Amino acid sequence: MNVGTLIQPSPVPFASAYILPKNVSAIQVLPAEDGEPTRLGLLTQLPEGAEIFVGGPGFSEGTVKVLCQGAAYFIFLDDLLAVKKGAALAYA
C-alpha cells in the first residue's frame, strides 16, 4: 500500500486539537526514506490524556492522520468522532 499518495476526504477539520479521554488504537506512520513512500509502522495505543492534532486525511475513509508528541499516526475515525462528541458534550 502506497500510503504517501493516498488522500481521503475527512469529516474532521484538520489542525484541530483534542485530548484523548481513553486509550486509542493507532498505526504509526514511518517517514519516507531515500525517495521511498511513507510506510505504515506498528499498531500501538495512544494513551489517555494525550494531546493529538488532526494533521490530514488517512489512508482510507475510515482513518485520519494525527500528530502526537511529534510523531505521526493514523487513527480510526470512529475513535476520533467519539472524542469529538465527548468534547462537545463537555462544553455544552
pLDDT number for residue 4: 44
pTM over 0.75: no
pLDDT number for residue 48: 92
Q: Where are the domains of the chain?
A: 3-90
pLDDT number for residue 8: 45
Grid cell listed for 2 = 502506497
Per-residue pLDDT of the chain (92 residues; tens, 9 = 90+): 444 444 444 455 555 888 898 899 999 998 877 777 788 899 999 999 999 998 888 888 899 999 999 899 999 988 887 776 655 545 54
pLDDT number for residue 5: 41
List, in sequence order, the alpha helices (H) in 1-92. Answer: 77-90
Q: For the purposes of burial, counting CB atoms within 10 Å of the CB of 48, is it exposed (0-12), middle (13-18) or buried (19 or more)? A: exposed
From first CA to last CA, the distance across the chain in angstroms is 41
Q: Phi first, then psi: give them for residue 3, nearest 5 degrees.
A: -65, -30
